[in-house]
Chain A
Amino acid sequence: MSPAPQRAAQLSVDALDVAYGDFQVLWEASLRVEAGEIVAVLGPNGAGKSTLVNAISGLLRPRAGSVVFEGHRIDAMPAHRRAGLGIAHVLERRRLFPFLTVHDNVLLGAHNARARPQREETLARLETLLPLLKTRRAQLAHTLSGGEQQMVAIARGLMARPKLLMIDEPFLGLAPMMVAEIGELVRRIRDEQGIGVLFIEQNVELSLRLADRGVVLESGRTVLSGPSAELLRSAEVKRIFLGEFA
């Protein structure tokens, strides 16, 4: 399913340095995503996964390096303009507006100028993909289960009509049944809507079984990337997560 590698990447991150004050988290991090690809960002706790995704969506500004999306240099752009170009970011722990309804949460995703005029149409399409948008329409977001909240958060992201959907820890805290369901949702978003998905996840095997490719961060550096099948056999992945003795 992976597109041929010679095509220009949809997203390309090069030599990105990101720091919080004097605490540098990313060191020359690099990443490529082809259009319509599912890519997993992996790494032990504190490796810099969320920082990388936050720097792509514009929540953080890099100190050095570049982020190019569909030919546009975006690393100095404010986050809302990046959303307008087609990058949606589903935040870690969903971050829904707890006291808004499912419907209102989802509509807020269509804020950018490209998405707003088509929001009814987008919503209708999403209701087929995620029936709970209809059945739970008037329910307050905080009364949903974790998995349902994740679905609404993903729907809110899709309402922006993104070309690339980034999800930070889609499976965090979910029961195994729900993990399978969200995994299937990610697959359908790519297969049925042609939207590429970049996601962060702690569970290595689960991620690689879902993704076309994986990128592994270790201590703020992107040390490894490759097709999932390759990484699933990699002794290097074992070393990164379990140390020299593994």
Chain B
Amino acid sequence: MTLLRVNAITKRFGGITANRGITFDVASGELVGIIGPNGAGKSTLFECISGFYAPDEGWVELEGTRLAGLSPDLVCRRGIARTFQKLRPFQGMTVAENVMVGALTRTKDVKHAREQAHEWLRRVGLIEKANAHARTLSTGQRKRLELARALATGPRVLLLDEVTGGVDQRSIPALVDLVRELHAGGLTLLVIEHNMRVVTAVAQRIVALHMGEVIADGETAAVARSPKVVEAYLGQAYVA
């Protein structure tokens, strides 16, 4: 069953077309990797899906309902949560309070929100930092915090933007395991990732972007071998 439909999204910035007619469907429970060289349009696509940018053309549907014109908070309440490549925790709040902000989109009961926040912090392995200020966390810990905050909104679709980017090599396997667990639990995920080892380790399907367009969409191994993808990443010389 199609849960999320990205339909002919085009987004321009002046003379630059960051997304050009991007179309793909995501079935409920799927984990789709979004790859592409620098400047391919991956983050712009996430901004369009999550309501931070209004696309110039096209729209996003969640279970057949168009999300056009909804602000990011309303998109989130509909069930699409995200993390950010450039981390944006609420610096002045504690770690638990940050996650409660997510939980409070679903409940007005502060006590319940706090319990949920603690539960998610346990899941992402950050419970011992619950009372620390967000600004005191390392990059890897802030990634986990953003993940917990997004999960606390009770999403049906989770968009992860570079979850391993800027994270110490030693912390990557645990993050990969966490993404796998969330997927195994039935969550639908879209994962932007530069680290191809991470993508191929978690995604069954990959959508590859280059210069704002979809150049490949399919099973992970087939996309990684696709001549268009090889050329986009490395150049014509490497196309077998």
Contacts and interface: CB of A to CB of B under 8 A. Distances in A.
Nearest to A21: B138
B38 A246 contact: no
A203 B38 CA distance: 10
B17 to A, nearest CB: 15
B147 to A, nearest CB: 18
A24 B168 CA distance: 6
B168 A23 contact: yes
Contacts, number: 72
Contacts of A24: 168-169
Nearest to B140: A23
A87 interface: no
B221 interface: yes
B221 A237 contact: no
A74 to B, nearest CB: 27
Contacts of B235: 203-206
Given A206-B235, A219-B169, A44 B138 contact: no
B177 to A, nearest CB: 18
B229 interface: yes
A23 B234 contact: no
Interface string B134-147: 00001110000000
A182 to B, nearest CB: 17
A238 B197 CA distance: 12
A143 interface: no
Nearest to B169: A219
B27 interface: no
Given A23-B168, A45-B194, A204-B233, A237 B238 contact: yes
B75 interface: no
Contacts of B234: 204-205, 237-238, 241-242
Contact of A202 (B38, B195, B199): B38
Interface string A20-40: 011110010000000000000
A15 B224 CA distance: 32
B200 A245 contact: yes
| Main SS at interface, chain A | loop
A192 interface: no
Interface string A141-165: 0000000000000000000000000
A27 B235 CA distance: 28
A46 B195 contact: yes
A243 B208 CA distance: 14
Nearest to B171: A23
Interface in B169-197: 169, 194-197
Interface string A200-211: 001111101000
B1 interface: no
Contact of B196 (A202, A232, A233, A243): A243
Given A241-B234, A245-B225, A22 B138 contact: yes
B236 interface: yes
B224 A22 contact: no
A4 B237 CA distance: 26
Contact of A22 (B168, B194, B200): B168
Contacts of A206: 235
Contacts of A233: 237
Contacts of B236: 205
Given A23-B140, A24-B169, A46-B165, 15 more contacts: A22-B168, A44-B194, A46-B166, A46-B194, A46-B195, A204-B233, A204-B235, A205-B237, A219-B169, A219-B195, A233-B237, A241-B196, A242-B233, A242-B234, A245-B225
Interface of B: 37-38, 138-140, 165-166, 168-169, 194-197, 199-200, 220-221, 224-225, 229-230, 233-238
9 contacts: A23-B168, A45-B165, A46-B165, A46-B195, A205-B235, A205-B236, A220-B169, A242-B233, A246-B224
